[in-house]
A and B are shown apart, each in its own frame.
Chain A
Amino acid sequence: MGRYVVRRLLIAIPTLLVISFVMYAILALAPIDPLASLATDPRVPPEARENIRIALGLDQPWPVRYVKWLIAVLQGDFGVSFMSHTSVSALLWQRLPNTLAVVGVAYIVGIFVAVPIGMLSAVRRNTLTDHAVSTLAYIGFSVPTFFTGLILIIIFSVKLHWLPFLYDSNLKVTDFNSLVGQLRQSIMPILVLGLFDAAVLTRYVRAEMLEHLPMDYVRTARAKGLKERAVVVRHALRNSLIPVVTLIALGVPTVFGGAIVTEQIFHVPGIGELLVRSIGSGDTPVVAAIVIIFAVLVVAFNLVADVLYGVLDPRIRYA
C-alpha cells in the first residue's frame, strides 16, 4: 500500500503538468476577451483597449505566457487578477469561507440525509415509502437548482419576509444572535444544494443496498439470529457504503469549485461565483488558479478514494 501511494503521488506530477498545459491552452484559445465589457463604450477607443491588452501581457504568444505562469505558480504565486488588480490568492482566501459555509455544509447535509433514506428505501423496497422517496428524488434531480432557489426566495423572502436573500459575507459568527443570522442567510442555499446532492446520492445508496441485501453473507447473518436492524446496518449497509464512500470522496473537490448557480441566486460570494465571472470576463489568472487547485484536489481525492477502497474492501489488492 505504501509503495502504491508513493507511486501514485509521483504520477500525479506529470498528470498535473498535463492538466495545467491543456487548461492554459484552452483558456488562451477560447475566444473570450477581457475587454468585452468596454467594447461598446464610446468613451473607450480602440487604442485604449490595445494599451490594456499590452499591459496585461496579452500581446505575447500564449506558450510564453504559460511558461511564465507555470514558473510563478511553482513558487506559489498565482499572479494578479486582470479585473481587480489584486493577488489571486487574496481573492480566493476571501471567498473560501463563504463557499465552505454554504456548499460544504450542504454537501454534509446531503450525505446525512441520503444514507438513511436510501437505506430505508432499499429495505422497504416497492412499498409506499420507497416509491415516495424515489419520486421525491426524481423531482430533486429533474428540477434545476436555479428553480428551487427561486421558489424558496419567492416564498420565504418575498411573500413571507422571513429570510434575507442577500448574503452578508461580513457577518462573523461570534454569539448566538450572529449564529442565528448566519443560519437565516444560509439556510435556503444549503437546502437547495443539500436536497439536490441528497437526491442523487439516495439513488446510489439504494441501488448498492439492493445489490447487497440478497447476498449470502446477509443471509448468513440473518441465519445466525441477528436482529434485522443489525443485519441491515452492520452488514448490508457497511458493504454497500464502500462504493458510496468513494463517490463521496470524489465529490469533495466539487465543493471547492462552488455551486455556480446557487451562489449567484443567493448572492453568496463564493468561489463558483468568482470562477464563472472570471471566465466571463476573461480573467485568466483567476480561472487558471481555481482550475489548478481544483485539479490538485481531484487528483488527491481520487487517490484518497482508491486508498479508502482498498482499506474498506480487503478483496482489492493494489500492486
Chain B
Amino acid sequence: MATTTSQVRIGGVAQEYKRPARSLWADAWFTFTRDRFAMVGLVMLVILVAATLIGPFFYERPMGVIDFSRGLEGPSLEHPFGTDDLGRDLLGRLLWGGRVSIAVGITAVIIAISLGTAVGALAGYFRKLDNPLMRFTDVFLSLPILPLLLVIIYLFREAIAARFGPDLGIFIMIVTVIGVLNWMPVARLVRASFLSLKNKEFVEAARATGSTDRRIIFGHILPNVLSPILVAATIGVGGAILTESTLSFLGLGFPPDVPTWGRLLYDAQNFIDIAPHWVIFPGLCIFLIVLSINYIGDGLRDALDPRRRI
C-alpha cells in the first residue's frame, strides 16, 4: 500500500475497525461490487462473452448458408437480426465472429499494456535505462505501420503457422502484431508518471525502510499509475477490434470468411442507406463491448486506487 499522508485519516481508521481485516484484493472487490456501473459493465461483458461462446450451440441457424432470395432482409422471427446481401443470417454470423473479435480485442490490449507498462516503468524508474528504452520507443513510434505489418507477417507467418497450427497461429500473430504496434503511448504515459512519483515522499520512505526496487515499483509506484494505464487499456479494446478488421481487409488477418465484428461493419458500410440493420447490429456489438469494458475499467480504477479508499 502506498502510504500517502491523505490515507492516514480518522474516518479511514474508524472504518477499519468496523469490519474484519481484508487483503488488498478482497478490499478492492468489495469496492468494485458496490459500483453500480461497474457491475452493469461486468454483467454485460459476461453476457456478451457467454453469448458468443455458447450461443452458436443453441442458435442452430448456420451462419454460412447463402440464399439470395432472402438477401438484405430486415429483422424477422426467422432472422432476428436480418440478413446480409448474400442472404446469410446476421445473428449467426455475429455470434460466430464475436468470439474472435472479443478474444482479439482483449488479448491484444493486454499485450500492449503489459509491454508498455514494463518499458515505461523501467525507463521511468532506472535513470540508466531511460534513454535507451525511450529511443527504442521512438523507433517504434516512427516506423510505417502498414509495410511493417506486411514484413512481420511475410517473415513469420509460415513459422508461426507451423508451430501453432493455422488458426491459433493467425490468432497469435494478430494479437501480437496489434499489441506490438500499440504499446508505445502506454510506455510514455507510465514513464511520465514514474518520473513524477519516484521522488515523492512515500517512495523515499519506502526506500529508507530498505524496500527493494522490485517492491517499490510493484508495491508502491505502480498502484498509483493504474489510472492512466486503465484508461489506455479500456480505450484500446475498441481500437484493437477495429484494427483486426483492417488487417483482414488488407488480407493480413483471418480468412475473409470469418465474420469478425469489424469485418461485418466494413462489409456493410456501402449498404448503410439500403440495409441499416446490417450496419447497426455489428456496430452495436462493438459499442456494447467497449462500453462494458470502460465501465469495468472505471470501477477497477476506483477500487484499486490507494487514495480513494475510505
Contacts and interface: CB of A to CB of B under 8 A. Distances in A.
B286 A142 contact: yes
A26 B147 contact: yes
Interface string B139-177: 101111011101100110000000000000000000000
Contacts, number: 141
B143 A243 contact: no
A151 B138 contact: no
B6 A243 contact: no
Contacts of A29: 151, 154-155
Interface string A205-244: 0011011001110000000000000000000000000110
B227 A142 contact: no
A27 B147 contact: yes
B154 A11 contact: no
Nearest to B270: A150
Given A31-B150, A243-B193, A147 B265 contact: yes
Interface of A is mostly: helix
A11 B235 CA distance: 33
A18 B131 CA distance: 15
A250 B142 contact: no
B80 interface: no
A83 interface: no
B304 to A, nearest CB: 13
B154 A31 contact: yes
Interface residues of A, number: 61
Interface in A14-42: 15, 18-19, 22-23, 26-27, 29-32
B208 to A, nearest CB: 18
Given A142-B291, A247-B189, A26 B238 contact: no
Contact of B287 (A139, A208, A246, A294): A139
Contact of A207 (B134, B147, B286, B301): B301
Given A11-B131, A319-B127, A291 B143 contact: yes
B185 A250 contact: yes
Nearest to A219: B6
Given A19-B143, A294-B142, A298-B138, A243 B189 contact: yes
Contact of A200 (B150, B235, B272, B298): B235
A144 B195 CA distance: 34
Interface in A284-301: 287, 290-291, 294-295, 298-299
B48 interface: no
A43 interface: no
Interface of A: 11, 15, 18-19, 22-23, 26-27, 29-32, 131, 134-135, 138-139, 141-144, 146-147, 150-151, 154, 158, 200, 203-204, 207-208, 210-211, 214-216, 242-243, 246-247, 250, 253, 275-276, 279, 287, 290-291, 294-295, 298-299, 302, 305, 309, 313, 315-317, 319
Interface of B: 5-6, 37, 127, 131, 134-135, 138-139, 141-144, 146-148, 150-151, 154-155, 185, 188-189, 192-193, 195-196, 199-200, 227-228, 230-231, 234-235, 238-239, 242, 265-266, 269, 272-273, 279, 283, 286-287, 289-291, 294, 298, 301, 307-308
